[in-house]
Structure 1
Amino acid sequence: METFEDIGAARSQRVWGTAGGFLAVAFAAAGALGTVQQAAGVPAEVIQLAQFGPAAGVAALALVQRDRVARLVRGAGRSGAGRGAALLATAPLITVLAILAYLLGQGGAADGWFTRPGSLEHSFALIVVAQLVGACAEELGWRCLLQPLLRTRFGVLASSVTVGVLWGLWHVPVFAQRPQYAAAFLAATVAMSVVLGLALEGTGGARRLLLAGGFHTLVNLGMLLFLDEESGAVLPMVCFGSACLLAALPWVMRTPSGAGSAAATLRRT
């Protein structure tokens, strides 16, 4: 006769097995798509093809666990409109905080910190649309599959932090930069993942995807226009990571004390 501990262990193995399968495809697909991007000359300013790696992970899992993937992505319940609006408002807040930190770090006289949309090599409207498509493809995996999957075993904070770490590690090229740069980037992904996890708790389906994709797009556009972290400079990335941590604090402080309980969220998937 199976004990509760046996059942729990079996469910845990199933969760981590599914997560491992998703991550394996997401990493491999991102690497392959990055190679395709270079070979085809797709402008990184417009879109990063690697963003479709997590979507490929979802598609691969759906081939073998169709019903389970559908349940996770569909989710259950809906969060209030105010929480969605607060999530989208957090993205420009991160940009403003990062700009202020950057200007302070440069003694208030930083040059070239703003890139006019009209000065970009490609149409800004095209960039916005492409960024939203890419962000949604990425968030389909991180926030619509992996987060709900881990949420079946862990509390909202623990699952969000775990997704944030994995999301950060998935950006493999970042870790070729200086350690301070990589550490700041990882802090940013964890902080943003916490914001997303808390804001999207109880939300599923298209609403979850669009909110996550919208937040991701606004953050990316803010970085594109106001920071030059793509150059590998440490200060902009440190400012960005610090801004993400500060923006996450109000969300964490409003988290109910029971939100971290894994036992309260255990359910069959």
Structure 2
Amino acid sequence: MALFLTVAFVAAGALGALQPATRIPSEVIQLTQFGPALGVGLAALLWPGRVRELLAGPVPGRSRQGVLLLVTAPLIIALSVGAYAALTGDAHSTRPGAPFALIAAAQLIGACGEEIGWRCFLQPLLLTRFGPLAASVAVGVVWGVWHVQIFAGHPVYAGAFMTAAVSMSVVMGWALEGRRASRLLLAGGFHALINLGMLLFMDEESGAVLPMVLFGASCLAAAGLWTWKSAGRARSTAPTPTPAQAQAPTPAPAPEPARIPPIMDDVR
């Protein structure tokens, strides 16, 4: 895991420094988004079997939360924009300089470049040690810190951004639980919709604190609803022990688990 994170951070910094030379507008795509994908690529060269297993995902579940995940993104943006308009009397909107279809396609590609690292590699890797909520929070913290440039701004802005990153990670973690082949497109689609909404209707890129605070609060509300719904569903579907099972003697301690595969040795 340490190798993946090192490559993701260093490659993102290098790609960000390279972007001005390419003359690709950042509103179309940010090259930094491909840092996590490069980290996964290097890990795949060193541990091909383990990485293939992680990218394949868990045993297919019956989760039908994909559409709801994609609906959550515009709802978060609508709540943020509505709250901003109510507080300021102004509904901010921006007209992109490039064709919208080009921006939308590029944003999806860039979001998938990130999510192959965050939700398709790091999330299942952490799930071998932690539960869904803890793993999602951990990925969200890493994802937020990866946007290191936010810490150059106002502390409240940075705190609100971190809140948003962790909250969105929790939303995606619950929604993608039990998913296999569709994980990348669903995570990338949610991520791209959020980025497009922020580009069109928010002013957070200027460093303005209020839009980011409202966005963070909206993401936190969405994470709370997803956690309440998903945790409640997990409790309701848990098998109830029969009387015979309840009276059964305590089983002998399980044998010591096998050693975690080498790719997890870096986890502390």
TM-score range, shorter chain: 0.7 to 0.9
Deviates more, 1:228-237 or 1:69-78: 69-78
1:186 maps to 162
Query: Tell me, what secondary structure is at the counterpart of 2:93?
Result: coil
Aligned AA (1:23): L
Q: Distance in 2 between matches of 1:64 and 1:158?
A: 27
Please say if residues 171 and 226 of structure 2, whose CA atoms lie closer than 8 Å, have aligned partners that are also in contact.
yes
Map Cα deviations across residues 26-48 of structure 1 (whole Å, 9 max, x no partner).
00000000011022222001000
Answer yes or no: is 1:129 the counterpart of 2:130: no
CA RMSD of superposed structures (Å): 1.9
Shift of 1:257: 6.8
Q: How does 1:118-267 map to 2 (within 5 A)?
A: 119-205=95-181, 207-256=182-231
Q: Distance in 2 between matches of 1:182 and 1:105?
A: 21
**Unaligned stretches of 5+ residues in structure 1:** 1-18, 261-265
1:5 maps to none
**Equivalent of residue 95 in structure 1, options 77, 80, 83:** 77
Identify the structure with the greater helix proportion: 1
Aligned AA (2:147): H
Deviates more, 1:79-88 or 1:19-28: 79-88
Please say if residues 51 and 135 of structure 1, whose CA atoms lie closer than 8 Å, have aligned partners that are also in contact.
yes
Query: Tell me, what secondary structure is at the counterpart of 2:190?
Result: helix
Query: Tell me, what secondary structure is at the counterpart of 2:65?
Result: helix
Q: Distance in 2 between matches of 1:210 and 1:256?
A: 24
Map Cα deviations across residues 199-241 of structure 1 (whole Å, 9 max, x no partner).
1011123x00000000001111110111010011001111110
Q: Distance in 2 between matches of 1:256 and 1:241?
A: 22
**Equivalent of residue 53 in structure 1, options 35, 58, 71:** 35
Q: Distance in 2 between matches of 1:189 and 1:42?
A: 25
Map Cα deviations across residues 132-187 of structure 1 (whole Å, 9 max, x no partner).
00000100000000000000000000000000000000001111110000000000
Give identity over the alignment, percent: 56
Length-normalised TM-score, structure 1: 0.85
**Unaligned stretches of 5+ residues in structure 2:** 236-256, 262-268
Please say if residues 8 and 39 of structure 2, whose CA atoms lie closer than 8 Å, have aligned partners that are also in contact.
yes
Aligned AA (2:83): A
Number of aligned positions between the proteins: 239
